[in-house]
Amino acid sequence: MKRSLLVTLAGLAILLGGCGTFYAEAEQPLLCLTLPPQTFTIPGGGIVAPPGGFTGSYGGAVDVGLSDVVPDFLLSGPSKDHVLHLLSFQATLSGSPGVNFDWLTDLRLTAQNGAMAPVQLGQYTRGAQTGVTTISLGLSAPGQNLADFLANGGLILDLSGGVSVPAGQTVPGTWSTTVTTCLYAKVHKTLQDLIGGK
């Protein structure tokens, strides 16, 4: 079931090119989604780290499906009429009690769309802390409009980063995380767009 949308209908006539044009605006100030667990692979993982330790990388895509929770008109139509901002992104490690992100050195979040250059949205660097099970990314492009990155009612976000495992410890072959993300969405359409189904 699609979530309720805060809709502001602007019954105002504004002059555009000498013609009176009515428009409508719809806004979802806070849209939060928790996605099913996502699994990522560490190439070369699944072994005991050799003397000197193990360093490697990982990567994978997260598909944030919006079409099931957002009304179609908020996503469809020319991207110039839409605003979509990432407000937060959190990854919680899934697994047995005691598992943590101590082997992860960094995590980068990038918006992907084959027709456009990727845009880095956020990054996390672990630092000296240990026992970390949840990562909240610092946003590097909070004002980035992601409307151009929408495809088939969804948003593809790429997760990538590095790992470092001390000698003698087991290198994870795969790891799973539950992603929670919040977005802001807005659309501005003229009455003509609405009548025309745009």
- Tokens found for residue 89: 């992104």
CA angle 131, 133, 138 (to 5 degrees): 110
The domain 31-182: what is its CATH number? Answer: 2.60.40
* DSSP class of 35: P
Is residue 197 very low, low, confident or very high in pLDDT (cuts 50, 70, 90)?
low
- Rounded to the nearest angstrom, the gap between the alpha carbon of residue 52 and the centroid of all alpha carbons in its chain is 35
- Identity of residue 75: L
pLDDT at 3: 43
pLDDT at 192: 56
Given a cut of 90, is residue 158 above it in pLDDT? yes
Pinpoint the alpha helices (H) of the chain: 72-75, 191-195
Residue 22 confidence class, pLDDT cut points 50, 70, 90: low
Q: What is the mean pLDDT of the chain?
A: 81
Locate 22 and state its tokens.
């009515």
Give residue 69's pLDDT band: very low, low, confident or very high (50, 70, 90).
Answer: confident
